[in-house]
Structure 1
Amino acid sequence: MTETGDPVDGALDDLDRRIVAALQVDGRASWHRIATVLDESERSVTRRGNALLAEHRVRISTLGGHNAAVLVRAECALGSVRATATALAQRADCVFSYALSGTPQCVAEIRVSTAHLPGVVLDELPAVVGLVRVQADPVLRVLRSVRRWRPAILTPAQVAALEAPPHGVQQPDGSEPPRLSPTDRALTRALAEDGRASVTALARSAGISESTARRRLEWLQTNGHLWSRAVVEPALLGFPFEALLWIRVRPGRLEDFTEHLLADPCVRQATAIAGEFDLVVDVAVRDQASLYAKVGGGPWRDMVQSVQVSVVLQAMKRSGVRVPLGGPGH
């Protein structure tokens, strides 16, 4: 919906938006639980939810692996931005890849340990099609990941009722991925294919009992080796204007500004990086005017030294999941 109450073109209807928002809180929540929290018919929620998943309007992604990442900022040859962003998205270690307005023309997050970073930067990235210049900024700290994005769709009480038990959160430290047992690797592979796979299906795929599958899944989540997230285009939720903000914060104001950022439901992701910028922030809003109002005054003017805005023209990959050509449903 727009600020005047009119629907955004292509956006989901109210019930579908609330179902997707519930999956953003807990991607493995049962339809019964979601229906109870939303105060809707379980039959309607189940039918609508399964349709959203079948049409790929929302997908449940499960990530694990390296506890380190770099943000790749790429300048591309004329006419090759789409090809370069797609080539980066095809990497198995790529979390997201976006084509952007301005410079850089595309950005990607690559999960790589400190030990393997030289090979990626010096050998692999220069070979990417269409890439003219590249900078890889190590991720220092994740202030908000996309899986913690809570757009203003559900009430705080509904979000609290859907919150899964707290799981381990690991901050980047440059380390190699943990060595998992064959059973745990089998579970992670199954969840990578279907983030909502039942414990019964997980047990069958790993060749173990349901009680063991449930126990190992809980261990993987609690220890921060595995986490799920709902992957959805912000436009479907009524936020068609997405941008990355490259921010330099005034000296001594980083803590205050971070607190301000994390209170804003428009902030999808916020990351502290090494390099010329302090933070890169992914925001999704209803229109350009909303973004201008957000960064043009108030606390931003007092706490921020500079802001560079890059509009997200197209997402090639989100949360480890390739975005189909033409968008969701294709």
Structure 2
Amino acid sequence: MADSLDRRIISALQIDGRASWHRIAAALGEAERTVVRRGTRLLDSGLVRIGAMTLHGRSTVVGVRCAPGQARMVASALARRPDCVFTHVLTGSPDCVAELLCPRDRLASLVMDELPGLPGMLETFTLPVLRHIRTIREWHSGLLTDDEIATLEGPSGAPAPSPTDGDVMPPADVAHDLSRSDRLLLNALAEDGRCTYEELGRVAGVSEATARRRLGALRREGRVRIRAVIEPALLGLPVEAMLRVRTAPAGAEAVAAALADNVHVRYASFVTGEHQILVLAALPSESALYDFVTSAPWLRDVASVDVSLVLSSLKRGGMLARRPRD
């Protein structure tokens, strides 16, 4: 079980997954030897993984209603897609939900050709994302102070999110001008966001100095965030839910602003369909979830909320789920 210091170290890695143990220790006011030992243990256990989350393509949320007993198979098929960001198995309907990075010129093929071929699928719901309110790239658990976050986001740390990161969808061709070595570098970081510059240079076919310079540029430009990928339960938030929120058009922005300020909202987007806002939330208990969907301030302009519990996650932050190592 993660204790309070473990959770603060994890929170620091959510701000900057490549932050040195020295910088994390300085930001948290803890002994460096303790942070090294705790942080290394978390990474070696597989409970915390560091991945690169890139900005490319446009997002489409896909919900699938499955034949009895087929939800895990359908969710696994979605999770194995290289363009899949997350996949969750849910209570209620749909049985599973996934976010795919799908250029709009490929959306027709996705809807008419690819999704109908999913094994065990009965019905699909395709919801193109019109605008992100918050994505997993920006979410952290609220366990760090503003000063601690500022230290981790300092000149040597992770850049603050760009104006388009989580607020406006990036253009569909944002990754097309990347060089082959940049793409190889990002692919390596997607597997291990803390791999050394020497390893990055070897994979990308460039020198260590060039790998350091190119990664720095990609981060400053907001093309990639490198951060911890975890199960929220590790931070004391074991109850996850997907909410489909319906609101009057005039109240949509007020609801979005309130959701963006809530620490329990890990993901929220404006989508097409009868429910304008899709939310993924993580909370400490089912009673906290009840309060969140019945009496929280963000509900003032909400007409209805459809709630599904997350039963299992097969992919988070572009990384397939795996069992922690012993």
Kindly indicate whether the alpha-carbon contact (under 8 Å) linking 1:69 and 1:174 is maintained by their aligned counterparts in 2: no
**In structure 1, what is the Cα distance between the partners aligned to 2:82 and 2:46?**
20
1:323 and 2:321 equivalent?
Answer: yes
**In structure 2, what is the Cα distance between the partners aligned to 1:199 and 1:107?**
36
Change (3 A) 1:206 1:134: same
- 1:1-330 → structure 2 map (5 Å cutoff): 11-64=1-54, 66-163=56-153, 164-168=158-162, 169-170=164-165, 171-172=168-169, 175-176=172-173, 177-324=175-322, 327-329=323-325
Change (3 A) 1:237 1:216: same
Deviation at 1:113, TM superposition (A): 0.6
| Structure 2 gap segments, 5+ residues each | none
**Identity across matched positions, percent:** 44
| Structure 1 gap segments, 5+ residues each | 1-10
**In structure 2, what is the Cα distance between the partners aligned to 1:196 and 1:137?**
34
**In structure 2, what is the Cα distance between the partners aligned to 1:180 and 1:51?**
35
Deviation at 1:142, TM superposition (A): 1.2
SS at 1:141 equivalent = strand
Kindly indicate whether the alpha-carbon contact (under 8 Å) linking 1:16 and 1:49 is maintained by their aligned counterparts in 2: yes
**In structure 2, what is the Cα distance between the partners aligned to 1:299 and 1:63?**
31
One-letter amino acid of the structure 2 residue matched with residue 124 of structure 1: E
Deviation at 1:98, TM superposition (A): 0.3
Change (3 A) 1:298 1:231: closer
Kindly indicate whether the alpha-carbon contact (under 8 Å) linking 1:167 and 1:222 is maintained by their aligned counterparts in 2: no
- TM-score normalised over the length of structure 1: 0.91
SS at 2:249 equivalent = coil
Kindly indicate whether the alpha-carbon contact (under 8 Å) linking 1:233 and 1:328 is maintained by their aligned counterparts in 2: no
Kindly indicate whether the alpha-carbon contact (under 8 Å) linking 2:90 and 2:310 is maintained by their aligned counterparts in 1: yes
Deviation at 1:174, TM superposition (A): 6.1
**Alignment length, in residue pairs?**
318
**In structure 1, what is the Cα distance between the partners aligned to 2:113 and 2:293?**
38
Kindly indicate whether the alpha-carbon contact (under 8 Å) linking 1:178 and 1:225 is maintained by their aligned counterparts in 2: no
Kindly indicate whether the alpha-carbon contact (under 8 Å) linking 2:47 and 2:230 is maintained by their aligned counterparts in 1: yes
**In structure 2, what is the Cα distance between the partners aligned to 1:181 and 1:157?**
36
- TM-score normalised over the length of structure 2: 0.92
Kindly indicate whether the alpha-carbon contact (under 8 Å) linking 1:66 and 1:113 is maintained by their aligned counterparts in 2: no
**In structure 2, what is the Cα distance between the partners aligned to 1:152 and 1:165?**
18
